[in-house]
Amino acid sequence: MIVLGYNGFTNGADTFGRLYGATGIDRHSILGHDAAVALSVDGELVAAVEEERLNREKKTSDFPANSLRWCLNIADVRLDQVDAIAFPWSFSSDVVNAMIQDISGSGLPVEQKFDRLRRFGELYGGLVSKEALHADFKQRTGYDLPAEKLVPVPHHLAHLMCGYYLSGERDAAFMVSDGRAERLSSVMGEVRDGEVRLFEKSAISVNHSLALLFGEITRYLGFMPNNDEYKVMGLAAFAPPPSDNPLLRHVVELHEDGRYTLALANDPSGTRGYYPLLDRLFGGDERRREETEFRATVAAAAQQMVEVVTAHQLRALEADTDLTRMIYEGGLALNCVNNAKLLENSRFTDIHVSFGASDPGVAIGAAVYAGRLKGRSRPIPATPYLGPSYDDGQMLRALHEHADRVEWTELDEEAVAEQTAKLLSEKTVVGWFQGRAEYGPRALGNRSILANPGFADIKDIINIRVKHREPFRPFAPVVLESEAERVFEMGKKASSPYMTFVFPVRPEFHDVIPGAMHVDGTSRAQTVTAESNPKLAELLRNFTELTGVPCLVNTSFNVAGEPIVCSPTDALGCFLHTEIDCLVLGRFLVVKK
């Protein structure tokens, strides 16, 4: 069975701009952001790529025409051979009627109710109805998709199926928490023998979305919501957690069964309704919001709020299930500081957070769900390396196009790791471009910028001279799985292959890897094995043997505001417009003239 999952709309950004006043990257922040395509053949995920990697528009919500074309080509499949095409949103009649009732029964003035109903009607008819999806697909592909092949999948179920599939399809409790699905923002339940049971009493309405609130605080601090929440998480380490958190006293109220409500119901259109309240709670104003100390104080309170609320949810989940494994998906699951605390303070033996935890994963999850309708897919080892790869000829063509600005040495395959390790033994920043592009928001060693964490100032060098981003931002280490426990306090985790957990650095390594350690003594480590990424594992072995340093700094191969590079041309462009010292493009060692 061939199943294609996709996310994105042709007119999504323009529609949200017109109906809700969203501008800039905000136009992609409501539905369809992280547009992508995933292709499954007989239960095996064979290809997946985010549209932003190909159209070079960060967080794009456009119909993923480039991604669809690439996935079909790499699998040598025609659209008419695809058995099901799954979309990770399902605005069924029941859902739409309930949403209309939500608006009608709200306490809003009559005029505002009519305005919201009008806007929702335009959104439904022009974008998310099954008829609109069919028309959009036909317009962008030329293929008149048979009605029975289009499978709308509830958004949270798509998140869950991504995590379930990538964690090996074993029984598990689950929590999905993100900005919004169709009507809800967070759900919990169990998967047993492939059957999903939702704990409806614990569901959280989109009007009380913790993730949307965290996004509003992200905007309040001068960052971009639905994109920069990880900056708030990183900034939180620069201030102590508040002993009397005003967000927990005045904004969030906890209830039975893991439920909670917010003081101000979120408006999915992204209004700034919380600004006056946040100013009052923290003594803020436009000037103070630009002060680092103030921003760190608010960030610490927001981070503690997320930790307290999700721990409250987890206690209810523990009470309702006897399962010992847990799947955690959705945008809020990218808060890796919180993930580690949730695991260590729970009775769960493991919490699995996939490389597609945020909305890139719903294309995978939709495909998995639709494929399971006609029989259970077989569990296989998960890999994030699902995107485009390029051969020597394609790399050489890109190099020759830039021959006036670069020169290169062709290395034997076995010499690549050895030569790169020698470069990294110094204070050298290396672009590392190998194999298939990784999927999801993290660079996991195939489209990475690497450096030696033994130099304490390497963070400043990369932040300022290479990435062009805020100086407080930390960098993650990549380490051989066999070495991880020696360097980091891993707790219940035996591995962390997707950078979705944070661990304390053991005291004896504080002075060994200062460049990969945050101000609070922790690191968002990625573990690697020879099976998961042979070339990166070989590089780590060579580097450690040469220097005695057990890991490398690994950050995404891009600059602030740009998608991670995908092609050799992307890599060379980024290399030439930054102060990256060398580029290892496959087996070509590239330097600037």
Q: Is the residue at 283 inside a domain?
A: yes
Q: Evaluate whether 431 touches 555 at the Cβ level (below 8 Å).
A: no
In the predicted structure, residue 374 carries a pLDDT above the cut 70: no
Average pLDDT over residues 265-270: 54
Residue type, 297: T
Alpha carbons 164 and 88: distance in angstroms, whole number: 15
Our CA dihedral for 154, 160, 163, 165, rounded to 10 degrees, sits at: -70
Do 324 and 347 contact (CB within 8 A), yes or no? Answer: yes
Q: What is the number of helices (H) and of strands (E) in the chain?
A: 20, 23
**366 and 397 inside one domain:** no
Look at residue 561 and tell me whether its pLDDT is greater than 90. no
Q: Are residues 231 and 149 in the same domain?
A: no
Domain-ending residue, one of 352, 381, 409: 352
Query: Do 152 and 70 belong to one domain?
Result: yes
Residue 381 inside a domain? The answer is no
Whole-structure pTM value: 0.95
Is 15 inside any structural domain?
yes
For residue 226 the two structure tokens come to 């639905």
Mean pLDDT of the chain: 93
Question: What range does the domain containing 428 cover?
Answer: 392-592
CATH of the domain at 417: 3.90.870.20
Task: Write phi, then psi, for 328 (nearest 5 degrees).
Answer: -125, 120
Domain end, chosen from 372, 403, 435, is at 372
174 occurs within a structural domain: no
Condensed to tens digits (0 to 9), the pLDDT of residues 320-337 reads 999 999 999 999 999 999
What type of residue is 498? Answer: Y
Is the domain of 346 the same as that of 401?
A: no
Buried b (16+ CB within 10 A) or exposed e, 248-268: beebbeeeebbbbebeebbeb
Sorted by sequence, the CB contacts under 8 Å of residue 558 that are 6+ apart come out as: 467, 564, 565, 574
pLDDT of residue 387: 98
User: Would you say residue 386 lies in a domain?
Assistant: no
Does any domain span residue 111? yes
Residue 363 and residue 342 in one domain:
no
Q: Decide which of 403 and 18 is more confident.
A: 403
Structural domain includes residue 545: yes
Verify that 588 and 558 share a domain, yes or no: yes
In a domain, 384, yes or no: no
Q: In this structure, are 332 and 415 located in the same domain?
A: no
| pLDDT at residue number 375 | 47
**Domain containing 119 — which CATH number?**
3.30.420.40
Instruction: Return the amino acid letter for 34.
Output: D
Residues 404 and 538 in one domain: yes
Give pLDDT, residue 353. 98
Are residue 547 and residue 411 in the same domain, yes or no?
yes
Please check whether residue 199 is in contact with residue 188, taking contact to mean a CB–CB distance below 8 angstroms.
yes
Look at residue 55 and give its three-state secondary structure: helix
In total, how many domains does the chain have?
3
Separation of alpha carbons 445 and 578, rounded Å: 19
Residue 516 shares a structural domain with residue 429: yes
372 pLDDT exceeds 60? yes
Residues 13 and 140 in one domain: yes
Answer whether residue 309 shows pLDDT above 70. Answer: yes
For residue range 444-494, list pLDDT tens digits in order.
999 999 999 999 999 899 988 888 878 888 889 999 999 999 999 999 999
H, E, C per residue of 155-224: HHHHHHHHHHHHCCCCCEEEEEECCCCCCEEEEEEEEECCEEEECHHHCEEHHHCHHHHHHHHHHHCCCC
**Domain match, 493 and 573 both:** yes
Comparing 567 with 18, which gets the higher pLDDT?
A: 567
Domain boundary among 372, 404, 429: 372
